[in-house]
Amino acid sequence: TTAPKARACDLGIPFNGQTGKHNTITDVSGIETDHTTLIDEKGKEAIRAGVTVVFPKGKNSLDRVFAAWFTLNGNGEMTDTTWIDESGLSGSPILITNTNSVGTVHDAVVKWYIDKSSDDDWDLAVVAKTWDGYFNDVNGFHVKKEHVFEAMNSAKSDSGVEGNVGGGTGMVMHDFKGGIGTSSGKNPTQLVRYDNRGSTTNE
């Protein structure tokens, strides 16, 4: 078996601030996440792809959260950014997959919500792409709707899996092998909670 790779904090690399209990995104109350990972090297072209899903309030909630986005490299795709710019909110899960699977994943999320709660008011999905074309047969369209359903249905609040999984399975960034990472941080100052009506409460 292969030993898990050490995380940056485990290696003593300094970061500002204090992490959450597990230093994962699911330290934040309500967040659920999971991955579907596809690895197959038996065919003509290697398959190293997948999909990652993050539900900001859990898969059974349609509550909106404050949202914003930023582009470092515009040669890519992320859906639903127009609504985020306009409203500053998102009631959607966030999904990550490879470049050529963005459409498939987006369609799958819409189908999942229609089948689950067709009468409810839900937002279109935020689907972001990564590049895995060096390690994956990206033109083979191997990510299917059922892979998206699998990740969405199995999302949970204790998923700390990272690395070569889900949408990060074949990911390459700046000519280096990338992957899925996760962390959390605590705000050391007094927190102020804002609701959608603009009122505040101190915590």
3-state SS, 127-166, equals EEEECCCCCCCHHHCCCCHHHHHHHHHHCECCCCCCECCH
Taking the CA atoms of 83, 86, 89 and 95 in sequence, report the sign of the dihedral they define. Answer: positive
> In the predicted model, what is the mean pLDDT of residues 61-71?
91
- Tell me the domains of the chain and their CATH numbers: 23-180 (3.60.70.12)
The winner for highest mean pLDDT among 43-47, 62-66, 104-108, 195-199 is: 104-108
Question: What are the distances in angstroms from CA 96 to CA 6, 18, 54, 183, 194?
Answer: 23, 27, 9, 17, 28
Model confidence over 122-163: pLDDT tens digits? 788 999 999 999 999 999 999 999 999 999 999 999 867 888
